[in-house]
Each structure stands twice: as structure tokens, then as C-alpha cells.
């Protein structure tokens, strides 16, 4: 079954709630009407009975009888007079030979001198009867009974039910139709928005959803969606750029490899010539292997640490990375040393963090001329810990301080080529640090050169 649309569901809820309210109100109005009609009947019965009682009490019996005969002869009055023992003395013509009932409860009441009300069935109708005692000289001399058919009351109540049965569905129907129109109008912008969003795909991420400028929730929704689209667009652009750069980086060594092999195969070569060609081919293959390893590392590190909960002793990690850096630096005449350290720990993946530090140290060693120095230190810094790698190399211009962390960015192409870097080292380091909820920035070192600072949340367990 197809799910109901929001405006249909809203309308159904609205109509349901209105129906429930109207049913309750109708039931209340019916009970109130029934109660007030019953009160009216009882009041008028009592009034008539009072008149009859007064007439029969204040006049001699035969005069009263005569008077009553004249007064209460009309067709529709149900009146009867009884002796105290219950014997019928007089009844109005409208009773047509029937008797108004006198229940034992009513009998008890009149003996106490109080009026009694009863409802009884007579000739297929419900009849309301009031019974009044007539006392003369403190003695019960007569009983007056006045009855009235409840048919008119019942008819009024039936008519009220008929009116409600027409009015309630009509009101609910009209309200539902109006509510549906209103809900549809209110939700139309949402429909428009979803249609606009449907037209946006990976190829048309530059499109935006129209913001109507009303400043309401729907405008905020459109703005949120547009913000998300803008982020998606820039991510897509970044991915495209990355793929293009990666393809380009792969093509360079592959073209060189192809060229070397073609030249070697073009004519018969001597053994040393073949060896030289193969050595050059191997060099390009090694570049390709390094590049693919770096690409793999980058995609893994951006997926986050492999064991996020593990506690990592940062001090020993720094000492270990410094030892590796020192071995690399030996051939280049650069000194790697450990500066200030502190016994600090972070949470994360020790292998990945070691990789990030090594990338910084390797860069320091690579870009610092012989006779220079690279220093790594670790210190506590408020709620975080900071690892700094500082060198005495050429340093990095403030204008390039952000750019160098992008994949494949090398500031000096010739130098990068000579050092064999792919331009992924800093991108890998930053994505590892970001995955550990930290930051990696560069600033000028006080002694000239570059100072990379890697900041991570401290683990104080």
C-alpha cells in the first residue's frame, strides 16, 4: 500500500480530532437538553398539580369536583383524584378510562407529605406523573395526580439528534476540506524543494534550492540543504582534482619507464647497457611502488585510526621516531636530536601516529641542507599535547603554510624531484592527525627554518 502523503495524514488527524471534539460536545448538549426538558416537564406538572390540590383543599368537595370537572376536562390533561386509600374519585376525560399509576415509593412519599415523581408506561407511551397529597386539618384527605406524556420531550430530543447527525458530519467534512487545502498550500514549498533536489545530481551540484526569503522553517531547511550541497560540491571537486593529480603522478614514472624500455629494445645492446636500462626502469618502478603505498596510506589514514581506544605513550614514540630520523639524516650531514620531552599519552593508533611524525622528520632531513639540524620535542599544552618538529632549512612562506598539506603539492618542483617526494607526506600526516581529533600546522621556527606542530588531545587516564 502506498504511504499516505503528509497533507493527507495531517487532514485525517485534524478531522479525527474535530470529530472527537464534536461528538463529546454533542453528547454534552444532548444530556443538557434532556435534563432541562425533564426539569421543565416536572416543573409544569408540579404547577398544575399545585393548582388542583389547592382547589380541592380549599373548596367543599362537591364544589371542587364541579370546578375541577370544568377546568380539567380538556382532552389533553391527565389528572386524577384519589381517596387516601387509593380509590379513584375523579379523573379527567383525557385518561379515557385508564388510571395513572401510583407506585409504592410514591405512596410512601405522600404519606410523608411530600410530592413524588414517577415515570411509567401507558398506552405505549412513557408518561411522567407527579403525585401530591392534599391535607386538611393535618390529615391526608385526598391524593392529586397529574401526568404528562413524555412524547413531546422525546420528539424534541430525537430532532436534536437528527440535527446533530447532519451538522457534525457537515462540519467535519467542511473542516477537513479546508484543512486539506491549507495543509497542501503549507506543504507546497516542501514539494517544490524535493523536486528541485531531485534535479540535483553529481553532474549538477552547482544548482541550489530556491530560498523564498520568508525566514521560516522551510527557508532554514532550504539553506541547510544548500549548505550541504556546497560542501558536497567542494568535496566532489577535491576528489576530481585528487584523481587527476594521482593519474598525472602515475603517468610520469610510467612514461619514463616506457621510454627507457623502448630505447633499450630499439637496437641490440650490450650487457652493461641493458643493466643500466633495467636499473633506470627499476628506479621508476620504485617510485611507482612508493606512490601507490603513499596513496594507500592516505586513504587508510583518512578513514580514521584502526584502534581508536588504545593508549599511546607519546614520549617513547617520539624517541623511536627520532632514532629512525637520525639514521636517515646521517648520510646527509644533518643532525636529528630530541629536545624537551614530557611523559604524555594520547589515545589512538600508535603506528599511524609514528608514521605522521616520521613524515615530518623525513621532510626536515630532506629539506635541510648539510650541516643543519632537526629537533623533535614533546610537551604538555593545556588539555592537549604538542609534538614539534623544527629544522634549520629554508622554511615555508606564510602564503604556502596551508597549501603544502594538500595532496601532490610540492613547493619547488625541481627540488621535490631531486628528493623524490610525491607531495603526499604532509597530506598523510595531516589526515592521520585530524582522524585523531588533532591539528597539524606549520610556522616559522625562531632559528629560521620550519616548525611543524602536531597537537593532540591528551589522555590523562
Q: Which one of the spans 149-157, 227-235, 331-339, 409-417 is the region binding ligand ADP (CB under 6 A)?
A: 409-417
Q: Rule CB under 6 A: say whether 411 interacts with ligand ADP.
A: yes
- Sole binder of ligand ADP in the list 425, 433, 436, 458 (CB under 6 A): 425
Whose CB is nearest to ligand ADP? 421
Q: Rule CB under 6 A: say whether 409 interacts with ligand ADP.
A: yes
Q: Rule CB under 6 A: say whether 367 interacts with ligand ADP.
A: yes
Phi-psi region of 371 (alpha: psi -120 to 50; beta: other; left: phi over 0): left
Site string for ligand ADP, 16-45 (x = CB under 6 A): ------------------------------
Q: Are 375 and 390 in contact (CB under 8 A)?
A: yes
Least Å distance, CB 371 to ligand ADP, is 15
Sign of torsion over alpha carbons 349, 350, 356, 359: negative
How many Cβ atoms are within 10 Å of 224's Cβ, its own excluded? 11
Least Å distance, CB 354 to ligand ADP, is 16
Comparing CB distances to ligand ADP, the nearer of 212 and 327 is 327
Q: 384-403 burial string, b = 16+ CB within 10 Å, else e?
A: bbbbbbbbbbbbbeeeeeee
Number of residues interacting with ligand ADP: please give it, by CB under 6 A.
22
Comparing CB distances to ligand ADP, the nearer of 79 and 365 is 365
How many Cβ atoms are within 10 Å of 80's Cβ, its own excluded? 23
- Sole binder of ligand ADP in the list 102, 172, 404, 433 (CB under 6 A): 404
Helix orientation angle between 425-435 and 271-302, rounded to the nearest 10 degrees = 20
Q: 51-66 burial string, b = 16+ CB within 10 Å, else e?
A: ebbebbeeeeeeebbe
Least Å distance, CB 257 to ligand ADP, is 20
Helix orientation angle between 350-367 and 425-435, rounded to the nearest 10 degrees = 150
Q: Rule CB under 6 A: say whether 305 interacts with ligand ADP.
A: no
Q: Are strands 345-347 and 311-313 parallel, antiparallel or unpaired?
A: antiparallel
- Sole binder of ligand ADP in the list 372, 393, 433, 445 (CB under 6 A): 393
Nearest to 218 by CA among 209, 231, 227: 209
Comparing CB distances to ligand ADP, the nearer of 110 and 426 is 426
Comparing CB distances to ligand ADP, the nearer of 133 and 449 is 449
Least Å distance, CB 448 to ligand ADP, is 11
Alpha carbons 373 and 365: distance in angstroms, whole number: 8
Per CB under 6 A, residues contacting ligand ADP are 359, 363-364, 367, 391, 393-394, 396, 404, 409-412, 416, 421-427, 450
Amino acid at each position: 500500500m502506498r504511504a499516505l502523503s503528509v497533507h493527507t495524514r495531517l487532514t485525517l488527524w485534524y478531522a479525527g480530532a474535530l470529530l472527537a471534539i464534536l461528538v463529546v460536545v454533542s453528547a454534552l448538549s444532548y444530556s443538557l437538553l434532556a435534563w432541562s426538558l425533564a426539569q421543565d416537564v416536572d416543573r409544569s406538572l408540579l404547577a398544575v398539580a399545585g393548582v388542583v390540590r389547592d382547589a380541592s383543599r380549599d373548596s367543599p368537595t362537591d364544589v371542587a369536583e364541579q370546578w375541577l370537572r370544568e377546568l380539567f376536562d380538556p382532552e389533553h390533561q391527565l389528572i386524577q383524584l384519589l381517596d387516601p386509600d387509593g380509590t379513584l374519585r375523579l379523573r379527567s376525560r383525557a385518561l379515557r378510562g385508564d388510571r395513572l399509576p401510583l407506585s409504592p415509593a410514591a405512596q410512601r412519599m405522600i404519606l410523608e407529605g411530600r410530592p413524588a415523581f414517577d415515570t411509567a408506561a401507558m398506552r405505549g407511551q412513557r408518561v411522567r406523573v407527579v403525585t401530591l397529597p392534599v391535607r386538611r386539618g393535618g390529615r391526608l384527605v385526598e391524593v392529586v395526580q397529574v401526568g404528562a406524556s413524555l412524547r413531546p420531550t422525546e420528539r424534541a430530543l430525537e430532532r436534536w439528534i437528527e440535527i446533530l447527525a447532519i451538522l457534525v458530519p457537515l462540519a467535519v467534512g467542511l473542516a477537513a476540506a479546508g484543512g486539506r487545502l491549507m495543509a497542501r498550500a503549507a506543504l507546497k514549498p516542501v514539494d517544490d524543494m524535493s523536486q528541485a533536489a531531485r534535479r540535483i545530481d553529481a553532474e549538477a551540484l552547482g544548482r541550489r534550492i530556491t530560498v523564498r526569503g520568508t525566514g521560516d522553517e522551510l527557508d532554514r531547511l532550504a539553506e541547510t540543504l544548500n549548505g550541504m550541497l556546497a560542501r558536497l560540491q567542494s568535496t566532489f571537486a577535491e576528489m576530481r582534482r585528487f584523481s587527476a593529480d594521482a593519474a598525472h603522478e602515475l603517468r610520469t614514472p610510467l612514461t619514463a619507464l616506457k621510454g627507457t624500455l623502448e630505447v633499450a629494445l630499439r637496437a641490440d645492446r650490450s650487457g652493461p647497457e641493458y643493466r643500466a636500462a633495467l636499473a633506470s626502469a627499476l628506479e621508476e618502478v620504485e617510485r611507482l611502488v612508493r606512490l601507490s603505498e603513499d596513496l594507500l596510506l592516505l586513504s587508510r589514514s583518512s578513514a580514521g585510526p584502526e584502534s581508536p581506544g588504545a593508549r599511546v605513550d607519546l614520549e617513547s614514540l617520539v624517541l623511536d621516531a627520532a632514532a629512525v630520523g637520525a639514521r636517515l639524516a646521517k648520510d646527509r650531514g644533518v643532525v636529528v636530536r630530541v629536545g624537551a620531552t614530557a611523559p604524555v599519552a594520547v589515545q589512538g593508533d600508535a603506528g599511524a601516529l609514528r608514521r605522521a611524525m616520521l613524515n615530518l622528520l623525513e621532510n626536515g632531513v630532506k629539506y635541510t641542507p648539510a650541516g643543519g639540524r632537526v629537533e623533535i620535542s614533546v610537551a604538555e599544552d593545556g588539555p592537549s599535547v604538542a609534538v614539534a618538529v623544527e629544522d634549520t632549512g629554508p622554511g615555508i612562506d606564510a602564503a604556502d603554510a596551508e597549501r603544502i598539506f594538500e595532496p601532490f603539492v610540492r613547493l619547488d618542483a625541481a627540488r621535490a624531484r631531486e628528493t623524490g617526494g610525491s607531495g603526499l607526506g604532509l597530506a598523510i600526516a595531516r589526515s592521520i592527525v585530524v582522524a585523531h581529533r588533532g591539528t597539524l600546522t606549520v610556522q616559522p621556527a625562531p632559528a629560521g627554518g620550519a616548525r611543524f606542530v602536531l597537537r593532540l588531545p591528551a589522555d590523562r587516564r
